[in-house]
Structure 1
Amino acid sequence: MGHHSYFEIAGHSFLYCLESYIPDVAALFTEEDRLPVVDHVHDNGQPWSEFTYAATVTALRERLQVQGFTKPRAQEALSAALAQMNGEGAGSVPDAEAFEDDIRQLLAAEPVLFPSEKDDVSQASDEVLEELSRWMDSRDFVRLLLDCAPEPEIAASLDLTELTGCCVELDPSRPIAEQARAKQLAEITQTTPLLVLTEGTTDAQLLSAGMDVTHPHLKSFVTFFDYGSSGAEGGIAQLACNVASFVAAGVANRFVALADNDTAGHAGMRKTLERPLPERCRVMFYPALPLLESYPTLGPYTDEPVVADVNGRAGSLELYLGQDVLQAEGGLMPVQWKSWDSKLRRYQGALTETDKATAQERFRLKVKAHHARRPAPEADWSGIRAIIDQVVAAFG
């Protein structure tokens, strides 16, 4: 009898691999996704172990998304594969839209209990689906399954259990996912982490720390440019310069230039946005937040706080660190209006340097409390979550 690994979702098994595993599928997981290994012994005395990596549909879908394996790409791959299968005389094959409906129905149905071992992979319950997996990149195929999943938080797993016993004897202590990802990163550009350029070291550090809280499954899949170790200066002018340098140097990574959503940010990136940019580059600003639609401001005409929409005019990262860290005596830390931009015809606003430093420190303490499993009940991560969600969708 054969020994297979397989990808499982909603209790249904796919991508059977005889006496091995598909590295590109293994690389979608991390060692944090590894389930506890449980050792067993067969009746004949042969040892075997339950060895599985499991994440949620959402986690795997977002990991694929930031690698460029988007829903439109998976749908195009499906159409191309079905056309090839028809051309090879694979029999009656439905069109792409009908096929996606079939997959949704399959995943929503009760799974058929497969034999624990399979001699012939082609003997899967749905021969067309099994055949399709041979014509598609395994990551496109997985993305197709994930997009058809009935629930976003159900488990999707890679089961390596059958490889741990006799014949194959895969060592369950090996970091399979970590090794597969490391090899993948060394081989092809498509799967390198999405690189995010910010206006400076502090923004990069705070966003990275925040992502570890709101999107921990994206660790090693999204990387923030480390200004500190590179010696590069920060600021909006430097961000624009970095974009130009990356484009001119032909940097293969897909990268996102992420600027403050304020007057200075929009003014500083205006010329960059006027130039043609390659497909691998996106220039974005922090997203508009409901919190910032009615935010206290000071000046330029009065010292009394005036509530105003500061989206696009004062949206530095500090205003995205959470309403809890922005609290001051009597309300929220106010934005101070400063210089007037005659071309954009609006003022630039920002927190005072003291308030900025306070907000940053409170945020760092909030991150530490979260990791120590002592989160404050009022902890607000909505701003960070909105930024990372925007980064995830940058190439969608």
Structure 2
Amino acid sequence: MGSYCEIYFDRTEVCGAKSVVPDHFCALFQESDRVVRPSRDEDEESPEVVYEAPRAVVLSRLDLLGCTTTVARERLEAWLATTRETWDEYCADGDWAEKTTTALRSFSVEDWYRRAPEVLATLYTREEATDEIDRHMRDRDGEGWLWFDGYGSLMSLRALLDACAEVQCVTLDVTALIGGGWIEPGAKICDEKRASAPLDPRPLATTVILAEGSSDIRILQRSLAGLFPELQDYFSFFNHAELSVDGGAAYLVKFLKAFAAARAPLRLVAVFDNDTAGRQAHRQANTLGLPDNMVAVTLPDTELARSYPTIGPQGEHVVDVNGKAASIELYLGRASLMAGSGFRRVRWSGFNSTAQAYQGEIEGKAEVEASFLRAVANCSSPAEARAAFPELVEVWTMIFSAVEKAAEVAERKLHGRVA
């Protein structure tokens, strides 16, 4: 018989797997989603063990894996075109295929999205089909049209979740696998799966964040945990301190060269400061011809930095420091940047002859970071943290977007190879 795990949209069973939890099921969740609760079955003493996440969170995670609305729709369109061609060939061989061929000619992507919610909701409770399209969408034994990208695949699940707009929660139920002895009761399934495939880019490996130095990494790591904890297991961070690795914009370019030359399969994002040196290094990185799994970005321009106090040889001035002196400390919230009654100033430190621009640095960088770390630790919720640090929200929104675009490219190329 065996035991199964299942994916649910709210209370509706969507798909399942026998004896194991597939990697792509785990890719939708992280260990903090684990919930242990009393069984709904009064005759069952063992608790339910599930992984649950809100719809919006699962959609964000799918985006990071390249399973976006756009790519899912493209994959569905490609499947429909290929399936029509196949059945047209069948129809040429005899009348036996005419009914299905006719149905496919009237079937559209919009029809799939319109029909999918009702089919899914009644897939295991109603056997009678309303028409030929409905019959094929309900086919659970063959190549059913509901699972256009394969049964239980992430791309099919993305399209189904897009189609089922009323769904509030996505759940992975592993209770039966634990009860059947396939999984230990205390096993950290998602953590163990990710640890077993640290470099495999599909689908459990994290995206590695590189930055100019250890303080940048520390800030990015803490801010992700504080502002977007539901996505923290989808990223890991380059550790400068562990082996005393050199930092700086120039070294970050060298790291990218090394990873690219080694054809490292991991997904990574290199984050350069939004200052003169960072901008110059970012331009160099963009000339390297990096592979699709490696992305270089600079910290975004912010409104705060457009009018910021500075000091230099010609005195104090309020100027736009975007692109000249916006290191990561300038993204740590207004409260962290305060010294007395005003902002800590940017001090101009030198002229970069290659970039033909001055480089600046915030005064008291260590104090700014310490103030931020205390403040983010004291936030009572991610929503409070995002409100307190809007510039960091911009940073992470930019990083998420870069990862999503790179993952979309990877998914399209993969589909081109396997189609």
Under TM normalisation by the shorter chain, which class is it? 0.7 to 0.9
1:288 aligned counterpart, secondary structure: coil
What's the counterpart of residue 349 of structure 1?
360
Distance (whole Å) between structure 2 residues aligned to residue 367 and residue 261 of structure 1? 22
The answer on whether the counterparts of 1:69 and 1:139 sit within 8 Å (CA) in structure 2 is yes
Deviations 1:30-80 (A, max 9, x none): 22101223146665xx64543321112232233333334344432333233
Q: Say which of 282, 293, 305 aligns to 2:295.
A: 282
Distance (whole Å) between structure 2 residues aligned to residue 281 and residue 169 of structure 1? 37
Larger helix percent: 2
Q: How many residues align?
A: 378
Q: Say which of 282, 294, 300 aligns to 1:269.
A: 282
The Cα shift of 1:85 comes to 4.2
2:279 aligned counterpart, secondary structure: helix
2:300 aligned counterpart, secondary structure: coil
The answer on whether the counterparts of 1:51 and 1:159 sit within 8 Å (CA) in structure 2 is yes
What's the counterpart of residue 391 of structure 2?
383
Distance (whole Å) between structure 2 residues aligned to residue 125 and residue 198 of structure 1? 50
Q: In structure 2, do the counterparts of structure 1 residues 173 and 84 end up closer, same or farther at CA, with 3 Å as the change threshold?
A: farther
Q: Say which of 366, 374, 385 aligns to 1:365.
A: 374
Range with greater deviation from structure 2 (230-239 or 136-145): 136-145
Q: In structure 2, do the counterparts of structure 1 residues 376 and 15 end up closer, same or farther at CA, with 3 Å as the change threshold?
A: closer
Q: Say which of 319, 336, 341 aligns to 1:308.
A: 319
Q: In structure 2, do the counterparts of structure 1 residues 75 and 381 end up closer, same or farther at CA, with 3 Å as the change threshold?
A: same
2:171 aligned counterpart, secondary structure: strand
The Cα shift of 1:135 comes to 3.5
Distance (whole Å) between structure 1 residues aligned to residue 68 and residue 298 of structure 2? 22
Structure 1 residue 329 corresponds to structure 2 residue 340 = yes
Distance (whole Å) between structure 2 residues aligned to residue 328 and residue 312 of structure 1? 23
The answer on whether the counterparts of 2:386 and 2:393 sit within 8 Å (CA) in structure 1 is no
Q: In structure 2, do the counterparts of structure 1 residues 300 and 268 end up closer, same or farther at CA, with 3 Å as the change threshold?
A: farther
One-letter amino acid of the structure 1 residue matched with residue 375 of structure 2: K
2:7 aligned counterpart, secondary structure: strand
The Cα shift of 1:184 comes to 4.8
One-letter amino acid of the structure 1 residue matched with residue 372 of structure 2: F
Structure 1 residue 156 corresponds to structure 2 residue 154 = no
Deviations 1:331-378 (A, max 9, x none): 2112122323344443222112xx21110111121233237x799899
The answer on whether the counterparts of 1:322 and 1:382 sit within 8 Å (CA) in structure 2 is yes
Distance (whole Å) between structure 2 residues aligned to residue 279 and residue 377 of structure 1? 32
Q: Say which of 55, 62, 76 aligns to 1:64.
A: 62
One-letter amino acid of the structure 1 residue matched with residue 62 of structure 2: L
1:230 aligned counterpart, secondary structure: coil
Distance (whole Å) between structure 2 residues aligned to residue 251 and residue 386 of structure 1? 28
- Within 5 A, what are the aligned runs for 1:65-80? 65-80=63-78
One-letter amino acid of the structure 2 residue matched with residue 243 of structure 1: L
What's the counterpart of residue 255 of structure 1?
268
The answer on whether the counterparts of 1:67 and 1:194 sit within 8 Å (CA) in structure 2 is no
Distance (whole Å) between structure 2 residues aligned to residue 155 and residue 266 of structure 1? 42
1:324 aligned counterpart, secondary structure: helix
The Cα shift of 1:20 comes to 5.5
The answer on whether the counterparts of 2:6 and 2:16 sit within 8 Å (CA) in structure 1 is yes
1:191 aligned counterpart, secondary structure: coil
Distance (whole Å) between structure 1 residues aligned to residue 37 and residue 135 of structure 2? 27
1:255 aligned counterpart, secondary structure: strand
One-letter amino acid of the structure 2 residue matched with residue 317 of structure 1: I
The answer on whether the counterparts of 2:227 and 2:382 sit within 8 Å (CA) in structure 1 is no
The Cα shift of 1:198 comes to 0.3
The answer on whether the counterparts of 1:198 and 1:204 sit within 8 Å (CA) in structure 2 is yes
Q: In structure 2, do the counterparts of structure 1 residues 242 and 149 end up closer, same or farther at CA, with 3 Å as the change threshold?
A: farther
1:35 aligned counterpart, secondary structure: strand
One-letter amino acid of the structure 2 residue matched with residue 9 of structure 1: F
The answer on whether the counterparts of 1:29 and 1:54 sit within 8 Å (CA) in structure 2 is yes
2:28 aligned counterpart, secondary structure: coil
The answer on whether the counterparts of 2:10 and 2:171 sit within 8 Å (CA) in structure 1 is no
The Cα shift of 1:239 comes to 0.6
Range with greater deviation from structure 2 (125-134 or 219-228): 125-134
Q: Say which of 331, 334, 343 aligns to 1:320.
A: 331
Q: In structure 2, do the counterparts of structure 1 residues 54 and 40 end up closer, same or farther at CA, with 3 Å as the change threshold?
A: closer
Q: Say which of 218, 231, 241 aligns to 2:231.
A: 218
Distance (whole Å) between structure 2 residues aligned to residue 38 and residue 26 of structure 1? 22
What's the counterpart of residue 213 of structure 2?
200
What's the counterpart of residue 7 of structure 1?
7
What's the counterpart of residue 127 of structure 1?
138
Q: Say which of 134, 158, 164 aligns to 1:143.
A: 158
Q: Say which of 350, 354, 363 aligns to 1:339.
A: 350
Q: TM-score under structure 2 normalisation? A: 0.77
One-letter amino acid of the structure 2 residue matched with residue 386 of structure 1: E
One-letter amino acid of the structure 1 residue matched with residue 257 of structure 2: A
Distance (whole Å) between structure 2 residues aligned to residue 81 and residue 376 of structure 1? 44
Range with greater deviation from structure 2 (24-33 or 225-234): 24-33
Deviations 1:67-116 (A, max 9, x none): 3434443233323333454436766343335434545xx38x9955965x
Q: Which segments of 5 or more consecutive residues in structure 2 lack a partner in the other structure?
A: 88-96, 126-133, 406-419
1:366 aligned counterpart, secondary structure: helix
One-letter amino acid of the structure 2 residue matched with residue 176 of structure 1: I
The Cα shift of 1:265 comes to 0.7
